[in-house]
């Protein structure tokens, strides 16, 4: 790296916003006295590979510019490499749920200042089968929304999720049946959605787990039992405000690990990224305070 700090940029983040912002982030970090080498990702999986490779030389900090999908890959690359270097995130994505999880400013310049100051915090990471996620994993309705949103390239910001949500309600609504096992108990039910949460917000604006803590060593698991379209439309405004826990079809429990099984192959999202298109079993476990991030 020739003494330079790696700045891994996803040009496709934020529907192309990363391509516009990457050079600006690099210049601003240089102005702040942090010499960087910009490493642009070239496709799916490349952020993960670049993070793993650059961490081998143990730079003082690793800066990533992108959205939640970029962070998802970066966290997996960080875990692949065994950590050892603080991860700083400059948010230039669509939902930026990871930054909401850390409860820090969304302003990209502020994020650059944080990378320079290098004050850190250790937060939980979650393992699911053979990969990791930082914020949330979703099955059912929200996974379908994430899949639909990833295919919409002509809108930026949270409006993407609103459009995707409407399309799923109109065209692809389903109620898969799951077996959810944890702490010696099993729940067998049809669902609208199941989310495993480390952070509080997903999809840019949905306060799915309003009391989740990112460093408590626990997963906040939210299960909404099967509902029709009208029931979902009534539930969504409550989720936006984090007021859905009293809903009679919503179940919340906290655990350190769980198993989810389905006879029907299902799409799964983690941190907004489609990680499986046909999963039938997930083994999920929290890894307490495993990830070191700049805050």
Whether residue 170 has pLDDT greater than 70: no
Does residue 236 sit in the same domain as residue 275? yes
Task: Give me the pLDDT at residue 160, please.
Answer: 64
Q: Does the residue 235 lie in any domain?
A: yes
Give residue-wise pLDDT tens across range 200-215.
998 788 899 999 999 9
Q: Please give the pLDDT value at position 111.
A: 97
Q: Where in the sequence is the domain holding 166, given as residue range(s)?
A: 131-289
Confidence of residue 151 (pLDDT cuts 50, 70, 90): low
| Average confidence (pLDDT) over 155-167 | 62
Place of tokens 């799409």: 267
Indicate if 79 and 19 belong to the same structural domain.
yes
pTM attached to this predicted model:
0.90
Q: Which tens digits make up the pLDDT trace of 243-290? A: 999 999 999 999 999 999 999 998 899 998 888 888 999 999 999 999
Number of domains in the chain: 2
Banded model confidence at residue 172, pLDDT cuts 50, 70, 90 = low
The secondary structure of the chain as a DSSP string is -TTPEEEEE-TTHHHHHHHHHHHHHHHHHHHTT--EEEEE--STTHHHHHHHHHHTT--S-EEEEE-HHHHHHHHHHHHHHT--S-EEEEE-SSS-HHHHHHT----HHHHHHHHHH--EEEEEEEEETTEEESSEEEEEHHHHHHHHHHT--S--STHHHHHHHHHHHHH-----EEEEEETTEEEEEEEEEEEEESSS-BTTTB-SSTT--TTSS-EEEEEEE---HHHHHHHHHHHHHT-GGGSTTEEEEEESEEEEEEEEEEEEEETTEEEEEEEEEEEEEEEEEEEEEE-
46 with 174, same domain? no
Distance from chain centroid for Cα 125: 11
Same-domain check for residues 151 and 190:
yes
Residue 294 within any structural domain of the chain: no
Residues 150 and 263 in one domain: yes
pLDDT classification of 154: cutoffs 50, 70, 90: low
Residue 53 lies in a domain: yes
**Any domain includes 126:** no
Q: Render pLDDT for 61-116 as a digit per residue (tens, 0 to 9).
A: 999 999 999 999 999 999 999 999 999 999 998 789 999 999 999 999 999 999 99
Domain boundary, last residue among 88, 118, 148: 118
- Given a cut of 70, whether residue 44 has pLDDT beyond it is yes
CA angle 69, 191, 194 (to 5 degrees): 30
Rounded Cα gap, residues 71 and 91, in angstroms: 9
Domain identity same for 114 and 25: yes
Residue 295 lies in a domain: no
Burial of 39 (0-12, 13-18, 19+ CB in 10 A): buried
Same domain? 225 vs 147? yes
Check whether residue 39 and residue 177 sit in a common domain: no
Same domain for 45 and 73, yes or no, is: yes
Rounded Cα distance, 39 and 22, in Å? 9
Q: List the CATH number of the domain containing 88.
A: 3.40.50.10330
Q: What percent of the chain has pLDDT over 90?
A: 74
252 and 212: one domain? yes
User: What value does the mean pLDDT take over residues 115-128?
Assistant: 97
pLDDT band at 229 (very low <50, low <70, confident <90, very high): confident
pLDDT of 147 higher than 70 = no
62, 95, 118 — which closes off a domain? 118
Residue 222 belongs to some domain of the structure: yes
pLDDT of residue 77: 98
**Residue at 21 is within a domain:** yes
Residues 229 and 154 in one domain: yes
């Amino acid at each position: 790296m020739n003494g330079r700090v790696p700045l891994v940029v996803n040009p496709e983040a934020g529907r192309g916003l990363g391509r516009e912002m990457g050079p600006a982030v690099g210049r601003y970090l240089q102005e702040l006295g942090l010499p960087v080498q910009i490493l642009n990702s070239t496709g799916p999986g490349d952020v993960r590979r670049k993070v793993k490779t650059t961490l081998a030389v143990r730079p003082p900090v690793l800066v990533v510019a992108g959205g939640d999908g970029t962070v998802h890959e970066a966290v997996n690359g960080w875990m692949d490499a065994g950590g050892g270097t603080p991860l700083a995130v400059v948010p230039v994505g669509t939902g930026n749920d990871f930054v909401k999880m850390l409860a820090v400013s969304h302003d990209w310049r502020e994020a650059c200042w944080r990378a320079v100051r290098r004050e850190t915090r250790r937060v939980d990471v979650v393992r699911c089968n053979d990969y990791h996620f930082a914020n949330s994993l979703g099955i059912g309705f929200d996974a379908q929304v994430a899949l639909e949103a990833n295919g919409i390239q002509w809108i930026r910001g949270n409006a993407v999720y609103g459009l995707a949500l409407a399309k799923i309600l109109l065209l692809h609504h389903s109620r898969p049946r799951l077996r959810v096992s944890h702490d010696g108990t099993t729940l067998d039910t049809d669902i609208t959605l199941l989310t495993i949460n480390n952070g509080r917000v997903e999809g840019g604006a949905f306060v799915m787990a309003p009391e989740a803590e990112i460093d408590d060593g626990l997963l906040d698991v939210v299960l909404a039992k099967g509902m029709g379209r009208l029931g979902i439309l009534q539930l969504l405004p409550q989720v936006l405000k984090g007021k859905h826990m009293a809903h009679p079809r919503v179940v919340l429990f906290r655990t350190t690990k769980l198993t989810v099984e389905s006879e029907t192959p299902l799409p799964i999202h983690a941190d907004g990224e489609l990680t499986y298109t046909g999963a039938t079993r997930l083994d999920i476990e929290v890894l307490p305070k495993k990830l070191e991030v700049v805050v």
